[in-house]
Amino acid sequence: MKKYSYILLIFILTGASSISQLIPQLGNQRAGTSSLQFLKIGVGGRATGMGETFIAVSNDVTALYWNPAGLMQFEENGVHFSHTEWLVDLNHEFFGGVYRFGGNNALGLSVISLNTPAMQKTTEFQPNGTGEYFKYGDLGVGLTFARKLTQQFSFGVTVRYVEETLAELKMRGFMFDLGTYYWTGLSNTRFAVTISNFGPQVKPSGTVTTSTGGTVSDFQAFPPPTMFRIGFAYDPIDNAVNKLTTSIQLNHPNDNAENLNLGAEYSYKNFLYLRAGYKFNVESENYSAGIGVKAPIAMTTAALDYSVANFKDLGFTHRLSINLLLNSKKK
């Protein structure tokens, strides 16, 4: 079985390098060359507080977003709710649920949405509004399967339906996430590889009326925001009172420059959590921080997490999330 685990890992690494969608010119700024940007917004106060260096941690329900193989890093069924006050008054929501079965398998369902209040239409000749309104919204619904192949190696895959609506236009498609998770056997170090939002190009459908009375119904297609990630995690301190988790992650987006994330999480008695992270070579972002608490409540273990991320000139984003693990075996 271990042989097959290595083969799968090598396939992911070599297969990704052969796909031009994943590997454009190294370091080239490619902003604005992909669609469905809402898929790049991270979820969960815990992961985002650690600078989104989470694919090699991924031991809660948000693994549905970060690394589907992470569903095998905890033994409980669980649900997760996350709300983000995004930029320019956008609201980002995430819901996920995980069900474990057969000992070494898990199924997950996730829903992502990004929406705005209704906005008034304006034109060159009616800059104060036409009296008509439009809405912008995004939706992603994913189904995830994960399996533990050995005590050290797990993999997972997500199929996600995505839809973007802007006034009369709609854009639809199916995307795929693939993740692996490997305990190296060197102390408690973990290694993970993921490919997120991999799929065909998409383009809007519908008809737009121009200010001159003409119509446009043929639009250019763009690829989704595919991301290739490699991550490592290590716990230099791990005892009954204190635990420190550190993580490093290399990100290769198809629509921007390669970048590096560092993150850390400190926990005191598995109750109080402090987090921090930093993104290198990301033009619009840098540091993030977060705090959380976790405690058993009835038949669950509940975690409440908050994070803030700095988007430089654009301001700060705030996330609040709740993670519930049911019928807990681990605290």
Question: Is the pLDDT assigned to residue 324 strictly greater than 90?
Answer: yes
Q: What is the mean pLDDT of residues 65-86?
A: 96
> How buried is residue 3: exposed, middle or buried, by Cβ count under 10 Å (0-12/13-18/19+)?
exposed
Question: pLDDT grade, residue 2 (50/70/90)?
Answer: very low
Q: How far is Cα 75 from Cα 59, in angstroms, rounded to an integer?
A: 10
- Please write the tens of the pLDDT for every residue from 172-218: 999 999 999 999 999 999 999 999 999 999 988 887 777 677 778 77
pLDDT of residue 30: 62
Domain 2-326: CATH architecture, name and number where available: Beta Barrel (2.40)
Question: pLDDT grade, residue 109 (50/70/90)?
Answer: very high
Per-domain residue ranges of the chain: 2-326
Structure tokens at 253: 């987006």
Question: Is the pLDDT assigned to residue 14 strictly greater than 70?
Answer: no
With CA atoms as reference, report the closest residue to 324 among 294, 306, 310, 303: 303
pLDDT of residue 1: 47
pLDDT of residue 211: 66
Q: What number of other Cβ atoms are within 10 A of residue 176's Cβ? A: 16
pLDDT of residue 17: 40
pLDDT of residue 193: 98
Question: Is the pLDDT assigned to residue 49 strictly greater than 80?
Answer: yes
- Please write the tens of the pLDDT for every residue from 118-169: 778 777 777 777 777 778 899 999 999 999 999 999 999 999 999 998 888 8
Q: How far is Cα 41 from Cα 90, in angstroms, rounded to an integer?
A: 12
pLDDT of residue 298: 86
Of 87 and 235, which is predicted with more confidence? 235
**In this structure, is the dihedral angle defined by the CA atoms of residues 57, 59, 62 and 65, taken in order, positive or negative?**
positive
Question: Is the pLDDT assigned to residue 28 strictly greater than 70?
Answer: no
Q: How far is Cα 167 from Cα 70, in angstroms, rounded to an integer?
A: 37
- Please write the tens of the pLDDT for every residue from 278-312: 999 998 899 999 999 999 998 899 999 999 999 99
pTM: 0.87
pLDDT of residue 9: 44
Cβ-based neighbours of 100, under 8 Å, separated by 6 or more: 71, 75, 76, 77, 106
At 38, the amino acid letter reads: F
Q: What number of other Cβ atoms are within 10 A of residue 84's Cβ? A: 24
To the nearest 10°, report the CA torsion of 222, 202, 178, 274: 70
Which has the minimum average pLDDT: 82-96, 110-124, 200-214, 216-230?
200-214
pLDDT of residue 208: 76
- Please write the tens of the pLDDT for every residue from 54-73: 999 999 999 999 999 999 99
pLDDT of residue 16: 41
Q: How far is Cα 215 from Cα 163, in angstroms, rounded to an integer?
A: 23
With CA atoms as reference, report the closest residue to 282 among 59, 8, 10, 53: 53
Q: How far is Cα 7 from Cα 266, in angstroms, rounded to an integer?
A: 35
Q: How far is Cα 7 from Cα 15, in angstroms, rounded to an integer?
A: 12
Q: Which helix (H) or strand (E) holds 47?
A: helix 45-49
Q: How far apart are the first and last CA of the chain?
A: 30
